[in-house]
């Protein structure tokens, strides 16, 4: 009787993990898909170093430009103080609110204007050929056959970056803008680039300043009455600043601008090996360098380690197999130290505007020689929080490059207010 009335033995409590699993299974699958998409978007936003929401909070007003200079500088008081853009703000294109998106866009799309070039081949003393592309679609149309030596129209010499030439988007933006300002513009392509042949055993490197020196002397000799200016970008900026420091007061330039200068190649090399994103940039640079090497394999295979070039997987390995040999350096680090323009900026004796971005994904801001720029009264350093490596696109359509307008304003003001070098 007792057995009939007895209750079943109590069941052990269900595991809380089982309860959680059962609850989780009740959530629709599309909720999980939405959450996964949100997590991936957040990770991608972080990896791409986007700053869209930060810009949105400030009403897309951008950030102010930071200027570093000697307070007693005539260059600042007589020229830069009159440049409104350098005392304003830079705001990137909203849908390119990332240094990586900006940098990719300028190299693969760039929205370049049409630029009509007239080519002149300049032969250096060693027999090497340098292609000079003169901009023809400007008020000062260049006719190389009928040009007169006493023409006093300003001449802007553009020095492109690594693997770039006159057809690069940012070079066209700059050339087109300066040509509209009634300046004669010429792009000095590096040896073997822009379709020019390699006619000697000498190739260009970030340490090689003889070519730009020869080009500037050639143009100055041909147009002695014309004020000369030079604008270098990336590696071209490094070559320009190194040349300015090497020659000091003997430089026949009235002024210059250096955009996204790597400054210290040793620090930039370490930066490119630091994180995955930077390693991808290194791989991309190596692919570009290999394309250049393959174009001139007959010559380069004789004067460098060709097997090492073919096996190179990063920029450092390519430099070890080719560049440091061409520069006659025993090690890659020795080459990087030799070519770093940060070592020469103190000796610059012509008005120089330097523009760098703090989020440059190729040329780290750690390499910027802040104190050296501040101590030289001939140098003005302008830095922005954003901009990437060379693009600095602005506006909703990304058809305008901020630094191009800044350089135009700076050089135009300098032309109107020429100053002598300051010791």
CATH number at residue 361: 3.40.50.1820
Residue 55 within any structural domain of the chain: no
| pLDDT at 3 exceeding the cut of 60 | no
Quick one: 224 and 326 in the same domain? no
In the chain, what percentage of residues exceed pLDDT 70? 93
Residue that is last in its domain, among 339, 356, 389? 339
User: CA quadruple 317, 320, 321, 324: dihedral positive or negative?
Assistant: positive
Question: At 19, is the pLDDT very low, low, confident or very high (cuts 50, 70, 90)?
Answer: confident
Is 304 inside a domain boundary? yes
The domain of 295 spans 273-339
Higher pLDDT: 243 or 23? It is: 243
Same domain, 137 and 179: yes
Q: Give the relative orientation of helices 265-272 and 332-339 as an angle to the nearest 10 degrees.
A: 130
- In angstroms, what CA-CA distances link 30 with 19, 34, 39, 135? 21, 6, 14, 57
Q: What is the model's pTM?
A: 0.92
Model confidence pLDDT, tens digit, residues 367-395: 999 999 999 999 999 999 999 999 999 99
- Of 160, 48, 167, nearest in space to 104 by CA: 48
Q: What are phi and psi of 186, to 5 degrees?
A: -135, 130
Q: Are residues 88 and 201 in the same domain?
A: yes
Cα end-to-end distance, the chain, whole Å: 116
Q: Could you tell me if 373 and 312 lie in one domain?
A: no
Q: Are strands 89-90 and 129-135 parallel, antiparallel or unpaired?
A: unpaired
Which two structure tokens, joined as six digits, stand for 58? 């400030």
Round to whole Å and give the CA distance between 116 and 172. Answer: 10
Structure tokens at 404: 């191009």
Sequence-ordered list of residues with C-beta below 8 angstroms from that of 9, at least 6 positions apart, any chain: none
Question: Is the pLDDT reported for residue 68 higher than 70?
Answer: yes
* 324 and 241 belong to one structural domain: no
Q: Note whether 231 and 257 are same-domain residues.
A: yes
Domain final residue pick, 318, 339, 360: 339
pLDDT surpassing 60 at residue 321: yes
- The neighbouring-strand residues paired with 159 are 232
- pLDDT category at 294 given cuts 50, 70, 90 is very high
7-16, 179-188, 358-367: segment of lowest average pLDDT: 7-16
What confidence category does residue 349 fall into, taking pLDDT thresholds of 50, 70 and 90? very high
Q: Could you say which of 281, 311, 339 is where a domain stops? A: 339
Q: Output the pLDDT for position 316.
A: 96
The confidence score (pLDDT) of residue 140 equals: 52
194 with 152, same domain: the answer is: yes
pLDDT at 15 (0 to 100): 80
For residue 418, the model assigns a pLDDT of 82
Asked if the structure places residue 51 within a domain, the reply is no
Query: How many Å is the Cα radius of gyration of the chain?
Result: 27
Residues 275-294, mean pLDDT to the nearest whole number = 95
- Specify the long-range contacts of residues 56-61, CB closer than 8 Å, at least 24 apart: 56/94, 60/91, 60/94, 61/89, 61/91
Output the furthest CA–CA distance in the chain (Å, rounded): 128
Whether 287 is covered by a domain: the verdict is: yes
Asked if the structure places residue 25 within a domain, the reply is: no
Question: DSSP labels for 361-410?
Answer: SSS-GGG--HHHHHH-TTEEEEEES--TTTT-EESTT--EEHHHHHHHHH
| 416 CB-near residues (< 8 Å, 6+ apart) | none
pLDDT confidence band for 90 (50 / 70 / 90): very high
Of 7-16, 194-203, 252-261, the poorest mean pLDDT is in: 7-16
- Confidence band for 59, pLDDT divided at 50, 70 and 90: very high
Q: What pLDDT shows up at residue 24?
A: 80
Integer CA distances (angstroms), 407 to 158, 232, 290, 349, 355, in order:
12, 11, 32, 19, 9
* Mean pLDDT, range 283-301, rounded to an integer: 95
Are residue 80 and residue 177 in the same domain, yes or no? yes
Whether residue 380 contacts residue 73, with contact meaning beta carbons closer than 8 Å, is answered with: yes
**299 and 352: one domain?**
no
Q: Cβ atoms within 10 A of the Cβ of 1, count?
A: 5
Examine residue 354 and state whether it is found in any structural domain, yes or no.
yes
Q: Is residue 12 part of a domain?
A: no
In which band, very low, low, confident or very high, does the pLDDT at 32 lie, cut at 50, 70 and 90?
Answer: confident
Q: What is the pLDDT of residue 411?
A: 97
User: What is the total count of domains within the chain?
Assistant: 2
Residues 128, 150 share a domain? yes
Which residues partner with 63 through β-bridges? 90
- Count of beta carbons in the 10 Å neighbourhood of residue 200: 14
What b/e readout covers 13-41, taking b as 16+ CB neighbours within 10 angstroms? eeeeeeeeeeeeeeeeeeeeeeeeeeeee
- At residue 27, the pLDDT reads 87
Q: Tell me: the pLDDT tens digits for 157-177?
A: 999 999 999 999 999 999 999
DSSP string, 191-219: TT-TTPPP-SS----TT--HHHHHHHHHH
Of the pLDDT bands very low, low, confident and very high (cuts 50, 70, 90), residue 143 is low
- The set of long-range contacts for 333-336, using a CB threshold of 8 Å and a minimum separation of 24, is 333/266, 335/205, 335/207, 335/265, 336/264, 336/265, 336/266, 336/269
What is the rounded CA–CA span in Å between residue 136 and residue 385? 35
Same domain, 322 and 218: no
Q: Is 40 within the bounds of a domain?
A: no
Cα–Cα distance measured from residue 351 to residue 345, given in angstroms and rounded to the nearest whole number: 11
Under 8 Å between Cβ of 194 and 223: no
The answer on 206 and 254 residing in a single domain is: yes
């Amino acid at each position: 009787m007792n057995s009939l009335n007895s209750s079943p033995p109590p069941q052990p409590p269900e595991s809380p993990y089982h309860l959680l699993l059962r609850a989780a299974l009740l959530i629709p699958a599309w909720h999980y898909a939405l959450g996964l998409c949100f997590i991936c978007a957040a990770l991608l936003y972080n990896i791409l170093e986007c700053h869209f929401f930060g810009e949105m909070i400030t009403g897309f007003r951008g950030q102010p430009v930071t200027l570093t200079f000697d307070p007693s500088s005539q260059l600042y008081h007589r020229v830069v103080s009159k440049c409104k853009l350098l005392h304003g703000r830079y705001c990137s294109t909203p849908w390119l609110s990332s240094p990586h998106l900006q940098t990719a866009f300028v190299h693969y799309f760039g929205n370049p204007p049409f630029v009509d070039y007239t080519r002149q081949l300049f032969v250096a003393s060693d027999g090497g050929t340098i292609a000079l592309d003169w901009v023809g679609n400007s008020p000062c149309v260049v006719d190389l056959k009928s040009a007169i030596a006493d023409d006093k129209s300003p001449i802007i010499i553009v020095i492109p970056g690594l693997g770039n030439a006159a057809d690069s988007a940012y070079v066209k933006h700059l050339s087109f803008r300066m040509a509209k300002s009634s300046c004669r513009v010429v792009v000095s392509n590096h040896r073997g680039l822009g379709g020019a042949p390699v006619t000697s055993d000498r190739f260009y490197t970030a340490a090689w300043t003889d070519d730009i020196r020869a080009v500037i002397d050639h143009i100055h000799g041909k147009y002695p009455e014309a004020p000369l200016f030079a604008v270098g970008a990336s590696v071209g900026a490094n070559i320009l600043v190194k040349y300015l420091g090497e020659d000091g007061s003997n430089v026949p330039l009235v002024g210059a601008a250096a955009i996204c200068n790597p400054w210290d190649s040793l620090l930039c090399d370490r930066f490119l090996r630091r994180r995955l994103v930077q390693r991808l940039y290194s791989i991309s640079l190596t692919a570009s360098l290999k394309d250049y090497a393959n174009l001139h394999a007959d010559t380069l295979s004789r004067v460098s380690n060709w097997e090492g070039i073919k096996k190179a997987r990063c920029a450092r390995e390519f430099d070890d197999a080719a560049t440091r040999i061409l520069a006659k350096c025993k090690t890659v680090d020795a080459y990087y130290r030799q070519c770093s323009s940060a070592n020469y900026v103190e000796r610059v004796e012509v008005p120089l505007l330097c523009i760098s971005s703090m989020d440059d994904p190729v040329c780290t801001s750690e390499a910027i020689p802040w104190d050296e720029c501040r101590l030289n009264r001939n140098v003005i350093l302008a830095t922005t929080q954003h901009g990437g490596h060379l693009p600095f696109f602005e506006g909703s359509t990304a058809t305008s490059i901020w630094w191009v307008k800044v350089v135009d304003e700076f050089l135009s003001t300098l032309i109107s207010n020429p100053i002598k070098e300051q010791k």
